[in-house]
Amino acid sequence: MPFVTFLAGRIFKALLVIVAIAALNFLLIRLAPGDPASVMAGEAGATDPKYVDMLRARFGLDQPLWKQLALYLGQIVQFDLGFSYRNQVPVIALIGERLPATLLLMASSFVVSLVLGLGLGMAAAGVRFFGRARWLDSAIMSIALIFYATPLFWLALMMVLVFSVQLDWLPAFGMESVGANLKGWARIVDIAQHLVLPTLALSLFFMSVYVRLARAAMMEVMTQDHVRTGFAKGLTGGEVLRRHVFRNALLPIVTFAGIQLGQVAGGAVLIETVFAWPGIGRLMFDALLQRDYQLLLGVFLVTSATVIFFNLLTDIAYRFVDPRIRLEGGAR
Partner 1 sequence: MRSTRACGSGANSMGGSDARGTPLVRVENLSIRLPVGGDRPFAIEGISFTVDPGEIVCVVGESGSGKSVAANTLMGLLPQGLKISSGRVLLGDEDLAQASAARMRALRGREVSMIFQEPLSALNPLYRVSDQITELLGAHGAYPGKAGRQRILDLFGYVGLPEPERLIEAYPFQLSGGQRQRVVIAMALALEPKLILADEPTTALDVTTQAQVLDLLRKVRKDLGTAILFVTHDFGVVADIADRVLVMEKGRLVEAGAVEDVLRRPQHSYTQKLIGAVPRLEPLDLPPPGDEIVLAAEGVDKRFGTPGGWFRKARHVHAVAEASFTVRRGETLGIIGESGSGKSTLGRSIVRLIEPDAGRILFRGRDLMTISSGSFRSERKHLQMVFQDPLSSLNPRKRVRAILTDGPVAHGESRAVAEVRAAELIRLVGLTPAALERFPHEFSGGQRQRIGIARALMMEPDVIVADEPVSALDVSVQAQVLELFNELQQRLRLAMVFITHDLRVAAQLCHTVAVMQRGRIVEYGPTASVFADPQHAYTRQLFAAVPGKAFDSWRK
Q: State the Cα–Cα distance between residues 179 and 190, nearest whole angstrom.
A: 12
Q: Which residues contact 191 (CB under 8 A, 6 or more apart)?
A: 104, 175, 176
Distance CA 321, CA 325 (A): 9
Binding region for partner 1 (CB under 8 A) out of 8-16, 88-96, 148-156, 175-183: 8-16
Size of the site for partner 1 (CB under 8 A): 31
Q: Does 33 bind partner 1 (CB under 8 A)?
A: no
CB of 253 to partner 1, least distance (A): 14
Q: What is the DSSP string of 166-199?
A: IS--S--SSSS-TTT---HHHHHHHHHHHHHHHH
Name the minimum Å distance from CB 231 to partner 1.
Answer: 6
Q: Is-contact 279 101, C-beta < 8 A?
A: yes
Q: Rounded to whole angstroms, how far apart are CA atoms 273 and 279?
A: 9
Which residues from 301-330 bind partner 1, rule CB under 8 A? Answer: 321-324, 327, 329
Residue 19 beta carbon to partner 1: minimum distance, rounded to whole angstroms: 16
CB of 224 to partner 1, least distance (A): 6
Element (DSSP H or E) covering residue 84: strand 83-84
Contact 194, 211 (CB under 8 A): no
Nearer to partner 1 among residue 180 and residue 232 (C-beta): 232
Closest contact distance (angstroms) between CB of 214 and partner 1 is 16
The residues, ordered by sequence, that sit 6+ positions from 81 with a Cβ below 8 Å of its Cβ are 75, 90, 91, 92, 95, 294, 297, 298, 301
Which C-beta is closer to partner 1: that of 60 or that of 323?
Answer: 323
Q: How far is the CB of 239 from partner 1 (least distance, A)?
A: 8
Single residue of 3, 9, 28, 111 touching partner 1 by CB under 8 A: 9
In this complex, which beta carbon is closest to partner 1, that of residue 128 or of residue 187?
A: 128
CB of 227 to partner 1, least distance (A): 8
CA 330 to chain centre: 34
> Are the CB atoms for 261 and 106 separated by under 8 Å?
yes
Mask for 93-132, x = binds partner 1 (CB under 8 A): --------------------------------------x-
Closest separation in Å from C-beta 225 to partner 1: 4
Tell me the per-residue interface mask from 220 to 259 with partner 1, x by CB under 8 A, - otherwise.
----xxx-xxxxxxxxx--x---xx--xx-----------
- The span from the CA of 222 to the CA of 208, in Å, is 21
At 191, the amino acid letter reads I
Q: Hey, is 83 helix, strand or coil?
A: strand
For partner 1, which is the closer residue by CB, 138 or 158?
138
Q: Which is nearer to partner 1, 168 or 225 (CB)?
A: 225
Binding residues (CB under 8 A) for partner 1: these are: 1, 5-6, 8-9, 12, 131, 224-226, 228-236, 239, 243-244, 247-248, 321-324, 327, 329, 332
